Amino acid sequence: MHILVLLKMVPDVVEDLEIAPDGKALDLEYLRMILSESDDHALEQALLMKERHGGKVTVLALDAPEVDDALFTAAAKGADRVVKVVGMDAGLTTRQAARVFAQVIQSETGLMPADLVLTGVQAIDDLDGLIAPLVAHELGLPYLGIVTRVTFDAPGQLVQAIKEYSGGVRGEFEVKLPAVLGMQAAERPPRYVPVAKVRTAMKSQKIECTPAPIADGGWLAIEVVEMKRNEPAGHAEMLEGDADQASGRLCGILAERGIF
């Protein structure tokens, strides 16, 4: 069995995000990048399935600051092959990133055939699309998103996948392979790998680099008019009065917001 995992680095929101002087993008100076959270779950799911069924896991990522950390960590966790696409323009949108992924998957030896292509369901910077359905479309593969459980059904070349709906409802789906799944959460939280193991991986394993295909535009873009910080409320609006008065006001606010 071969599972291909697509990883994307996104801005780390723990650090304060600043806007660039042109007012249309993030200021890159203090920006740190981190592996998109649901991509980490996609990797964990792939590793769990490898442990169960054998086979191999290949990880493919686009070059970005701190991506090497993520790739070596993936290798230390058990990925068999880690590949990085280099030479692209900086600041690709999700749509452009998906196109690069799809082209590289088809052109780079050994990435296909894969039984499953796993990636996160959604990333915090997915302004113009989602990786999973875009890649699925480009590769002509079926797609299912918000998946929390995947079971490989060997004889029928199928997977059983659980998709999450609101209110605790889940849907049990059957997907014919090969397929692309957008993972919401792996069956268990992403495993911890000791720093020492990652440091060992840095010395013993190699990240393969593959050149990016020539950018071909040809789709309609979206234009960013303005980007700014979403200012949070600094302090609560205090509701005055005794218990009855204050709670009466609060009740009114909740009703207005459609809470009940």
Q: Which of residues 157-216 bind another protein (CB under 8 A)?
A: 160, 162-176, 179, 182, 188-189, 191-192, 194-199
| Interaction residues for another protein, span 45-104 (CB under 8 A) | 95
Residue 33: phi, psi to the nearest 5? -105, 145
Query: For another protein, how many residues bind (rule: CB under 8 A)?
Result: 94
128 binds another protein (CB under 8 A): yes
30 binds another protein (CB under 8 A): yes
Q: How crowded is residue 105: how many other Cβ atoms within 10 Å of its Cβ?
A: 19
Judged by CB under 8 A, which of 133, 187, 208, 212 binds another protein? 133
3-state secondary structure (DSSP) of residue 250: helix
Choose the stretch contacting another protein; rule: CB under 8 A; options: 8-16, 41-49, 82-90, 112-120: 8-16
Distance between first and last Cα of the chain: 49
3-state secondary structure (DSSP) of residue 253: helix
Choose the stretch contacting another protein; rule: CB under 8 A; options: 51-59, 107-115, 203-211, 248-256: 248-256
Q: Closest CB to another protein among 87 and 156?
A: 156
132 binds another protein (CB under 8 A): yes
Judged by CB under 8 A, which of 71, 75, 134, 201 binds another protein? 134
The nearest distance, CB 158 to another protein, in angstroms, is: 9
The nearest distance, CB 109 to another protein, in angstroms, is: 26
Contact 10, 157 (CB under 8 A): no
β partners of residue 150: 161
Residue 83: phi, psi to the nearest 5? -125, 140
Choose among 217, 182, 210: nearest CA to 105.
210
Q: Closest CB to another protein among 23 and 110?
A: 23
The nearest distance, CB 12 to another protein, in angstroms, is: 8
Judged by CB under 8 A, which of 121, 139, 201, 207 binds another protein? 121
Binding mask 215-244 for another protein (x = CB under 8 A): ---xxxxxxxxxxxxx--xxxxxxx--xxx
CA dihedral 61, 178, 186, 145 (to 10 degrees): 90
Give CA–CA dist 56/142, Å, rounded.
Answer: 21
Give CA–CA dist 229/231, Å, rounded.
Answer: 6
